[in-house]
């Protein structure tokens, strides 16, 4: 579903993503982990078309990506960001936020779709005419997920979707994401620094360091501690230590 081959990204003279290649099968959830500055979010944002200055080859659903993304791309691929407060328009109601992608893509039947989207992410009906600041952090992230899903994408790019949330709310959002993925057969890429979160959602993952992928392993290998690269081993050890 998603192919990335020899991707390089430069920010000015900084070479931040170096020769990154991976493939994600349809219906699979693929994790990108690493410390800040490892380039994991940059890879995701480059796929989404948020970074210029890349070379290499990227394709989604068999279609090669050029320098610009067209409307069809955004109907197929949607993104959820870390901080829902920063990614929702502060002066738009939830209703308006959810209606916009429908207008952009010329999708009819806004009324029933918005109602259904709110139900799907388990938001109360009353949330529809609220502003983002009137919702809790978990509710805001649900709105961001509802917005991403309302135009029926097949690919979801998730950039640290639960890092800004309490663990209790994180559990709810992670459960919601697994349910939606199941129900809609979504292909996902999840960027996170939290190995436990990645292991929970992903079948395979790539570990990044200094802009490179140092190793790709399966969830089972990750849980069993069967990592070949020393950086992965360090991350696993640290994660176990934090779990206590």
Nearer to other proteins, 104 or 196 (CB): 196
Min CB(111)–other proteins separation in Å: 30
Bridge partners of 188? 29, 156
Nearer to other proteins, 100 or 234 (CB): 234
Cα–Cα distance measured from residue 184 to residue 149, given in angstroms and rounded to the nearest whole number: 9
Cα–Cα distance measured from residue 67 to residue 205, given in angstroms and rounded to the nearest whole number: 26
Sheet harboring 29-33: ordered strands across? 77-80, 155-159, 187-192, 29-33, 204-209, 212-218
Min CB(36)–other proteins separation in Å: 5
Min CB(45)–other proteins separation in Å: 19
Min CB(65)–other proteins separation in Å: 30
Phi/psi for 204 (5° steps) reads -135, 160
Strand 14-24 and strand 77-80: the pairing is unpaired
Q: Which residues bind other proteins (CB under 8 A)?
A: 35-36, 137, 166-172, 174-175, 178, 193-197, 199-200, 222-223, 234-236, 238-244
Nearer to other proteins, 113 or 200 (CB): 200
């Amino acid at each position: 579903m998603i192919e990335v081959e020899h991707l390089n990204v430069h920010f000015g003279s900084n070479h931040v993503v170096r020769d990154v290649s991976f493939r994600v099968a349809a219906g699979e959830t693929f994790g990108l982990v690493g410390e800040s500055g490892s380039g994991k979010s940059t890879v995701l944002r480059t796929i989404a078309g948020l970074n210029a200055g890349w070379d290499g080859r990227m394709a989604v659903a068999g279609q090669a990506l050029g320098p610009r993304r067209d409307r069809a791309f955004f109907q197929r691929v949607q993104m959820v960001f870390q901080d829902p407060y920063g990614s929702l328009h502060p002066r738009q109601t939830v209703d308006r936020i959810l209606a916009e992608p429908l207008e952009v893509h010329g999708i009819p039947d806004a009324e029933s779709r918005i109602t259904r989207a709110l139900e799907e992410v388990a938001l109360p009906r009353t949330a529809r005419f609220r502003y983002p600041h009137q919702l809790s952090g978990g509710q805001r992230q649900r709105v961001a997920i509802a917005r991403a899903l309302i135009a029926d994408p097949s690919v979801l790019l998730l950039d640290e979707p639960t890092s800004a949330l309490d663990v209790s709310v994180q559990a709810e959002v992670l459960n919601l994401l697994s349910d939606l993925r199941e129900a809609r057969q979504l292909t996902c890429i999840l960027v996170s620094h939290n190995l436990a979160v990645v292991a929970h959602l992903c079948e395979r993952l790539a570990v990044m360091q200094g802009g490179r992928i140092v190793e790709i392993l399966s969830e089972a290998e990750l849980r069993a501690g069967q990592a070949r690269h020393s950086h992965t081993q360090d991350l696993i050890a640290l994660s176990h230590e934090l779990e206590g």
